[in-house]
A and B are shown apart, each in its own frame.
Chain A
């Protein structure tokens, strides 16, 4: 093999070379997400900050779209990363895959520039085609939607054709079916209607059925591969768990969609269906924690890649707390009536997205870097290990401060604005100007700065980890990964 510690694509297979491109863009967009999150957060404390230049709506749009795109890029990269290993065949249509990467990246750059410089358009269909669709998370204009669909189809072709040519493992089969659903759902968010109830009804098909069904199963596949790679867990065990998780996740998450149909004009039967099934959604998340922790314990935390394993464990817990606990706390209609659309929701959104998805992508970045540097040592006593340890600590400390700040603000808002005030304009500001709310926003901002420092350290660590190492990676004891 090659020289240990040197970053060179000679260490990678074709799919992995492409993966590293996606990973690079992902981390840059993560940086953009943090930047615009900080700007939006400052505006809560000082509303005149960038008023009329980069209004809150612009910063927020860039913040959440950067998030969606960096996570998608991270997922696509991770799938390309494991594709040849898993299928045993070189990526089919790699040239197309590379071309699509550049098309996709260029489209993202154009969309970001338009969001930044044009921001809004006249109230006509052409604004929706060219500038901004004005629908949270999927603000990208229609031309970009179509571009995204084309790119995802090409990606899907690479994946499906490669598995078909090599072998369909259990992970491969679940992955391919899941990607069909994930791409298909996007179409539900691509049309215009004047009817806001209908609009939000289909919008939730995209958002909810992404994050609480298809993305969740996608990270289940990545987790399965991650456990096999970092600890040599037996494939049969991992794949059985994956099927259990799919059954529980889809069994609760598909009808759990109903927890968004309480108040948007949809019929009352969703109270029962949405409340019941979404209340079951934490079960698969508990299963995932049990699975990851059991495997880690069983292998006595011996791992070929400590930072990746740490992020995988963080994923299991983050997913459980962010989605399972924080989601459960406001999912019953009796509570959601008062928390719906408050800082409560934002608290849950942050903990869940970071805990379940950002963590998984970061774990894959570490898995990738290890091989990219020629299969370098990444276990205990790694040179410069303080960086990844401090990064994971600062990111989580910052996140928890933000989430708690928003949670307290959310409690206060549910009480003062909703329960007492009756949710009108005056009641809204009675809550926003309350001392407890302001303190929550202040601590959210402090948490944001801590988080940002963790991000800087993470980026630095990703550029340097394993650089001065000359030891080869520890081998997994159980080499039955291919069983």
Chain B
């Protein structure tokens, strides 16, 4: 075994394996510290839970060249403004409901999960809820019993999962909060529900607001 060429040497490759693995792992750890900081709720990419007190939109950003969530004027969920703690408790209850009912083995959330039903990342903004006035109530009713509310031509219904009204409201809060996460433009080309204030009866809109701009 004398006079081995380096690339055929076992010990060279053993050492390479150790160094390469160690180095990659250290780099990953550094990146992870930064990433975890950036995705902690309350950061610019992942807003605080109390964002459910506001309008959330999804608008094309010319600089980044994709759609980004835009946080608009105050628009509390179910008409009730929550503190940060209350909002977190509500969203958490909704998140637990999604786990306990196993939504992710039919749907994708942030694009991960199962492919039997629509992606829920922007479900809060889906135009099929009709109008923003009826949206909250329609979502609660749908989640509590979707079995008689078919929305497609192939007969694929969501089952009744025993979701209580409280759980349904919490789930809607979770979905609203999720729609505020900056997902680097996923899903692309999504046309959100019209959330502009109805012109006639609405009380005066406080400030000019980008969120209401229609998407191209």
Contact = CB atoms under 8 A, between A and B. Distances in A.
Contact of B28 (A194, A255, A421): A255
A6 interface: no
A262 to B, nearest CB: 6
Nearest to B162: A120
Interface stretch (B70-78, B151-159, B196-204, B205-213): B151-159
Given A122-B167, A268-B184, A195 B159 contact: no
B153 A194 contact: no
Nearest to B188: A337
A128 B99 contact: yes
A425 B108 contact: no
B39 A136 contact: no
A194 B91 contact: yes
Nearest to A119: B102
A363 B167 CA distance: 48
A128 B20 contact: no
B10 A428 contact: no
A265 B167 contact: no
Contact of A123 (B31, B170, B187): B170
A44 B25 contact: no
A182 B31 CA distance: 21
A60 B105 contact: yes
Interface residues of A, number: 87
Nearest to A46: B155
Contacts of A257: 28
Interface centre among A122, A263, A270 (most CB of B within 10 A): A263
Nearest to A124: B96
Contacts of A428: 117-119
A135 B104 contact: yes
Interface stretch (A75-83, A246-254, A387-395, A461-469): A246-254
A422 B190 contact: yes
Nearest to A56: B116
A420 B188 CA distance: 10
Contacts of B152: 429, 432-433
Contacts of A199: 95
A263 B189 contact: no
A384 interface: no
B103 A134 contact: yes
Given A127-B96, A243-B10, A246-B17, A51 B159 contact: yes
A426 B114 contact: no
Contact of B101 (A134, A194, A271, A422): A134
B115 A346 contact: yes
A346 B114 CA distance: 9
A429 B155 CA distance: 10
Contacts of B113: 136, 341
Contact of A422 (B38, B94, B189): B189
B13 A247 contact: yes
A120 B102 contact: yes
A341 B116 contact: no
A267 interface: yes
Given A264-B183, A268-B184, A425 B115 contact: no
A149 interface: no
A423 B190 contact: yes
Contacts of A57: 102-103, 105-106, 114, 116
Nearest to A122: B100
Interface string B29-70: 001001110111100011001000000000000000000000
14 contacts: A119-B102, A122-B167, A192-B96, A195-B40, A195-B41, A198-B40, A246-B17, A251-B21, A263-B111, A265-B181, A267-B35, A424-B127, A424-B128, A425-B128
Interface of A: 43-44, 47-48, 51-52, 55-58, 60-61, 119-125, 127-128, 131-136, 139, 170, 174, 192-201, 203, 236, 239-240, 243-244, 246-247, 250-251, 254-255, 257, 260-271, 273, 337-338, 340-343, 345-346, 418-426, 428-429, 432-433
3 closest A-B pairs by beta carbon, nearest first, are A123-B97, A134-B99, A423-B187
